[in-house]
Amino acid sequence: MRIQIMAGNWKMHKTVAEAAKLARSIKKMEGVEVVLCPPFTAISSVSNAVADSGVKVGAQNMYWEEKGAFTGEISPVMLKEFCQYVILGHSERRQYFGETNETVNKKALTAFKHGLIPIICCGESLEQNEAGETVEFVGGQIHGALADMTADQASKVVIAYEPIWAIGTGKSAKPEAVNDIIRKSIRDVIADMFDESVAQAVRVQYGGSVKPDNVVAFMGQSEIDGALVGGASLKPELFMPLVEAAAKS
Ligand code: 13P
């Protein structure tokens, strides 16, 4: 049995005061893990705001070294004071900041070394989708990101399948199609790399224009174990219905 995980990726939004206010309005519910991923500057205050609530905290990126002369970077040692999770390889980081499967893999291995669970993002572009390349492309991302992990580490990974064309566009993917892609390009690849029990243990979120009016259809799919939410995670009146839907599924 995989526990649902509903995560809010706040991206580059919210000052410290705004973040703490938003965090205090988010409640954990039975049967679903709730993770808030604020920008680095607000991680400490969000961590304080959710203390004792059962709501967890994640970062949106991380460097793979523990410390040193890496101006502008944040290390796992710094994050683990506040966070349980770290998002790695979001398509925006791949597109604008040069993130690759190799750097995602290095970061994921380091995250585990420090007790952080990586939420590894994958997903194809519209062109790749229309060319029928989704399964091969996403499969390659998974293969690269999970390289050199132990079976125990791999089984703890959270994967967020986020088709790039569905992010922030209001055009979500079709829930049945997502279910199929997760089976073929994520669970089958993990079963090949490790075994079927690892493939069945990994939690896979869908991300891309998840909203209260489409969430139930996604949470009803057998392969989908929650969502990674951008826009709708910035408003409690939009995010809490998503948490409720995951709790009920
Ligand atoms: P939206 O929910 O705004 O489409 O963003 C999805 C996303 O990128 C979450 O990481």
pLDDT tens digits for the chain (249 residues)?
899 999 999 999 999 999 999 999 999 999 999 999 999 999 999 999 999 999 999 999 999 999 999 999 999 999 999 999 999 999 999 999 999 999 999 999 999 999 999 999 999 999 999 999 999 999 999 999 999 999 999 999 999 999 999 999 999 999 999 999 999 999 999 999 999 999 999 999 999 999 999 999 999 999 999 999 999 999 999 999 999 999 999
| Whether the Cβ atoms of residue 5 and residue 217 lie closer than 8 Å to each other | no
The answer to whether 162 is a known catalytic residue is yes
Nearest partner of 224 among 162, 141, 143, judged by Cα: 162
**pTM for this entry:** 0.98
| Whether the Cβ atoms of residue 215 and residue 245 lie closer than 8 Å to each other | yes
Q: Which residues line ligand 1 (CB under 6 A)?
A: 9, 90, 162, 167-168, 207-210, 228-232
The answer to whether 90 is a known catalytic residue is yes
| Whether the Cβ atoms of residue 227 and residue 7 lie closer than 8 Å to each other | yes
CATH number at residue 63: 3.20.20.70
Q: Which of 33, 90, 99, 124 is catalytic?
A: 90
Count how many domains the chain has.
1
Q: Which residue segment(s) compose the domain that 111 sits in?
A: 4-248
The residue whose CA has the least distance to atom 5 of ligand 1 is: 230
Helix, strand and coil content of the chain, in percent to the nearest 5, comes to: 45, 15, 35
Distance CA 218, CA 227 (A): 8
